[in-house]
Amino acid sequence: MTLETAVYLIPVTLGDTCIEQVLPSHNRDVVMGIKHFIVENVRSARRFLKKVEQSIDIDTLTFYELNQHTDRKFIEHYLDPIAKGQPVGIISEAGCPAIADPGADVVAIAQRKHIKVVPLVGPSSIILSVMASGFNGQSFAFHGYLPIDEDKKTARIRQLESRMYAEDQTQLFIETPYRNGKMMQTLLSTLRPQTRICLAANITCADEKIVTYTVAEWRKRIPQGASDDIVAREIPRVPAIFLIYK
Amino acid sequence: MTLETAVYLIPVTLGDTCIEQVLPSHNRDVVMGIKHFIVENVRSARRFLKKVEQSIDIDTLTFYELNQHTDRKFIEHYLDPIAKGQPVGIISEAGCPAIADPGADVVAIAQRKHIKVVPLVGPSSIILSVMASGFNGQSFAFHGYLPIDEDKKTARIRQLESRMYAEDQTQLFIETPYRNGKMMQTLLSTLRPQTRICLAANITCADEKIVTYTVAEWRKRIPQGASDDIVAREIPRVPAIFLIYK
């Protein structure tokens, strides 16, 4: 398969899942046609490529690292192969590139230069959790991380709950895994009893847990002052996404 | 493969794409383990299942229709097979179920009854367009359709543009294909010149077009009073999603 010269956005698995479970076989064909990859971490990108195709010759590939340490002025040159008719791939660390990673900066440059951008299908914890929550999928907003400061976080949660009721819009946000339990406790002491919370943890993995309860029901599962064990049993310390809706 | 008793959310292709391009092979294995399907349209669901596996015996399957004509009081019974240990599948008409279709009502019932819900990976025009737009993927909001009334639509567009600048949040919405050109013209006469618009049309199809320009650049491509031909050349009358960002 000869690939059209373009920037291809290549999703990876969420956690230690089989490639076949979450990526179309077409993605493998695209990957095999690319020699230049923009990646957040070279080591995990190599591991992913070996998982996609064991026979891949890693030494024939060029990797360009793009993370918070990368000087922004180099990024533009990462797309130089395109001018020579060679496709470029952007590989995410988890899930879909350019959703919550620095890949978006390269895509913005590609769009400004009128370079064709082709997104490939893969697992997105945002979409999968909206699907499985039972919440409104016609209107939803993803907010990334909430503020760390406890007062600001509480104020933000109240604001999102108000917007959810006023605009009939599902609200989504994430937290660092080890803080998941604390986040749920803050939600339970802040939100109205009838508001529903969906916790979607380790999506697409063997221990995937996607459950929706009202705040009142969650409060019974995790009473005020509950032990760390109870909290950890209900809210695992794994990548998770929180959704609220009426 | 024996499936766990659960409600499986089964995405389909967007338009006339190969299954292998946009769906993981795992989805086929799941589909082959299900005998009860909740679908928006029985005919297109059958066509999809034949595409997934030509040898599938459609006559052994039971279909439950769920669309705007379905009496809500029947929906709950669509999950009766679960009590007998039989998995149930929800098939979308396009893309991911429960995102912008009635499937969400069944998922909400399943969550209330504490039935396990398993979302499968597939093409989402929302996620794919955020990825390829180059816009902020850490914060974005999908709004479905905007109001039809021209004054209300303009007011809503202004509100979304303000929120985009104030909250650094990508804003997404859709339009009926034959009104795409009109929508773009309304955007061009309403938004600020420096605001960027991404048009993502026929995502994952052969004629996929995902392009980002500023309003000022779009205005040059589609001048005020442009002929229908020019508008149609720039803005195809196919399923599309509009994104705005700074």
Contact A127 B124 (CB under 8 A): yes
Average pLDDT on B114-128 reads 97
Comparing alpha-carbon positions, the chain B residue that sits nearest to A144 is B138
List the beta strands (DSSP E) in chain A: 7-10, 36-39, 62-65, 88-91, 117-119, 140-145, 170-174, 196-201, 209-214, 240-245
Residue A197: count of CB within 10 angstroms of its CB: 20
Please calculate the CA angle B53-B57-B60 and round it to the nearest 5 degrees: 135
Structure pTM? 0.96
Contact A24 B23 (CB under 8 A): yes
Burial of A150 (0-12, 13-18, 19+ CB in 10 A): exposed
Tokens, residue B137: 């993927």
Q: Is residue B24 less than 8 Å (CB to CB) from chain A?
A: yes
Task: Tell me how far apart the alpha carbons of residues A40 and A8 are, in angstroms, rounded to a whole number.
Answer: 15
Say yes or no: B9 contacts chain A, CB-CB below 8 A: yes
Q: What is the pLDDT of residue B102?
A: 81
Q: Where does residue A76 rank: exposed (0-12), middle (13-18), buried (19+ CB within 10 A)?
A: middle
Q: Check if the interface score ipTM surpasses 0.90.
A: yes
**Beta-carbon contacts of residue A100 (< 8 Å; ≥ 6 apart):** A144, A174, B137, B138
Q: How far is A210 from A207, CA to CA, in rounded Å?
A: 10
Mean pLDDT across chain B: 94
Report the DSSP pairing between strands B240-245 and B170-174. antiparallel
Instruction: Sort residue B15 into left (φ over 0), alpha (ψ -120 to 50) or beta.
Output: left
Q: How far apart are CA B196 and CA A226, in angstroms?
A: 48
Q: Which A residues 203-222 touch B at CB under 8 Å?
A: 203-204, 208, 210-212
Q: Which residue of B has its CA nearest to A111?
A: B212
Q: Enter the tokens of residue B136.
A: 């902020």
Cβ distance A139 to B138 less than 8 Å, yes or no, reads: no
* pLDDT of A27: 97
Dihedral sign (CA B48, A209, A16, A121)? positive
**Which chain A residues in 100-129 lie under 8 Å from chain B, judged by CB atoms?**
100-101, 104, 107-112, 114, 117-119, 121-124, 126-129
CB atoms within 10 A of CB A66: 23
Question: Which of A52, A68, A121, A211 is the best mutation test for B, with the most CBs of B within 10 A?
Answer: A121
Q: What is the pLDDT of residues A70-120, one digit of tens each?
A: 887 888 899 999 999 999 999 988 889 999 788 899 999 999 999 999 999
CA distance A12 to A124: 10
**pLDDT (tens digit per residue) in B156-178:** 999 999 999 999 999 999 999 99
Distance (Å) from the alpha carbon of A241 to chain B's nearest alpha carbon:
13
Exposure string for A93-115, b = 16+ CB within 10 A, e = fewer: bbbbbbbbbbbbbbbbbbbeeeb
Q: How confident is the model at residue B1 (pLDDT cuts 50, 70, 90)?
A: low
A211 contacts on B by Cβ (under 8 Å): 111, 114
User: Are A242 and A185 in contact, with CB atoms under 8 Å apart?
Assistant: no
pLDDT at A233: 92
Q: Contacts of residue B18 in chain A, CB cutoff 8 Å?
A: 26
B contact residues 124-163, partner A, Cβ 8 Å cutoff:
124, 126-144
Chain A CB contacts of B243 under 8 Å are: none
Asked if the model's pLDDT at residue B68 lies above 90, the reply is no
Give yes or no for a contact between A200 and A129, defined as CB atoms under 8 angstroms apart: yes
**Both tokens of residue B96?**
């991911």
Out of A22, A97, A108, whose CB is closest to B121? A22
CB contact under 8 A, B24 and A22: yes
Q: What share of chain B is helix, strand, coil (3-state, %, to 5)?
A: 40, 20, 40
Q: Distance (Å, rounded) from C-alpha B86 to C-alpha B60?
A: 14
